[in-house]
Amino acid sequence: MPDRLTVHWMFPDQLYLYGDRGNLMALRRLGALFDLDVVINRVTDVRQAAAADLTIFSSGDLDVIGSLTTRRDELADFVNRSRLSLVFGTTVALFGRTTKRVGHPDITGLGVVPADATERVLDHTGGQRPYGDDLWLQLADPAAEETRCAGVYIKPINVRLDAGVKPFATVLYGLDNSGELEAGGAGGAVLPNLVWTNLLGPALVRNPWLGLWLINRALGTAYEADERLRDAWELELAAKDGFEQFVTAKAKARGV
């Protein structure tokens, strides 16, 4: 087994709107449980590309994401040197093809994710589906230690993936990628070298089994959640069960 996980923490002063710095802490905690040294590199300049096991982009403002596309070639080279990129929320616009904006120039992304997006306009009359809410997912990979994950979403864009792109998860409660289905649709996407999810919260703190799944995917390892590890997750597992009861009751009350 490897003894190190190298993580690039991308643009920490520009992205990370939703407290996602906790995801880095969660990875370090998981690493300690496996005697895995988690090395985190704070990256603000992509002119000097460096290899990593995992590169993390948190959810950012669309104006910020648009500004990052001015470094398209350097950023693409940087991302290509990582075994796996983890992309949260709106930042998928940086990796897709085109994001149509309202009152702003469209965003032309890296084209890594075969998808196009459209900015949503917040409707204060209640005429559109929720802008943000709880998010409850069933991971598409049945090999994950736990396949259900809890979080929240903030959804400024609707995303249309090309046919055949594997979803990260099925949405059990919350909006799907397209913003049309409140349950049963695709949530996020999985490519050979990229994972995109709308789970915010931060996701890896609330769902440490997701962090384990990412580590195994990035390193090609097969770490398992033994009894010792599941004991360490006692609080998170109990919270997951409570969350399931909560969103199930919400869905029933709303008729979803």
pLDDT of residue 126: 59
Quickly state the pLDDT bin for 127 (edges 50, 70, 90).
low
User: Cβ–Cβ contacts within 10 Å for residue 191, how many?
Assistant: 16
Domain of 236 in residue numbering reads as 4-254
Q: Which tokens is 87 given?
A: 């992309």
pLDDT of 135 higher than 70: yes
Q: Which tokens is 114 given?
A: 């075969």
pLDDT of 122 higher than 80: no
pLDDT of 17 higher than 90: no
What does DSSP say about strands 169-173 and 186-187: parallel, antiparallel, or unpaired? antiparallel
pLDDT of residue 253: 84
Least confident stretch, 161-165, 169-173, 179-183, 245-249: 179-183
φ, ψ of residue 31 to 5 degrees: the values are -60, -40
Q: Which of residues 181 and 185 earns the better pLDDT score?
A: 185
Least confident stretch, 74-83, 124-133, 219-228, 235-244: 124-133
pLDDT of 169 higher than 80: yes
SS3 229: helix
pLDDT of 124 higher than 70: no
Q: Are 171 and 187 in contact (CB under 8 A)?
A: yes
Q: Are 7 and 55 in contact (CB under 8 A)?
A: yes
The count of structural domains within the chain is 1
CB-count burial class (<10 Å; 0-12, 13-18, 19+) for 86: buried
Q: How far apart are CA 112 and CA 240, in angstroms?
A: 32
CB-count burial class (<10 Å; 0-12, 13-18, 19+) for 49: middle
Q: Are 135 and 173 in contact (CB under 8 A)?
A: yes
Q: How far apart are CA 256 and CA 247, in angstroms?
A: 10
Count Cβ neighbours within 10 Å for each residue of 215-227 and write b for 16 or more, e otherwise.
bbbbbeeebebee
CA separation, residue 127 to residues 20, 100, 123, 124, 131 (Å): 30, 21, 6, 8, 11
Q: How far apart are CA 59 and CA 131, in angstroms?
A: 15
The percentage of the chain sitting over the pLDDT mark of 70, rounded to a whole number, equals 97
Q: Which of residues 21 and 5 earns the better pLDDT score?
A: 5
Quickly state the pLDDT bin for 50 (edges 50, 70, 90).
confident
Name the residue with tokens 């997951």.
Answer: 240
Q: How far apart are CA 100 and CA 243, in angstroms?
A: 34
Between the ranges 46-50, 76-80, 211-215, where is the mean pLDDT highest?
211-215
Q: Which tokens is 185 given?
A: 């649709």
**Pseudo-torsion of CA 72, 74, 78, 84, nearest 10°?**
10
User: What is the domain-level CATH number for residue 21?
Assistant: 3.40.50.880
User: Cβ–Cβ contacts within 10 Å for residue 61, how many?
Assistant: 14
pLDDT of 206 higher than 90: yes
The percentage of the chain sitting over the pLDDT mark of 90, rounded to a whole number, equals 68
Name the residue with tokens 């979403």.
Answer: 153
Average pLDDT over every residue of 17-26: 84
pLDDT of residue 143: 82
Q: Which of residues 254 and 209 earns the better pLDDT score?
A: 209
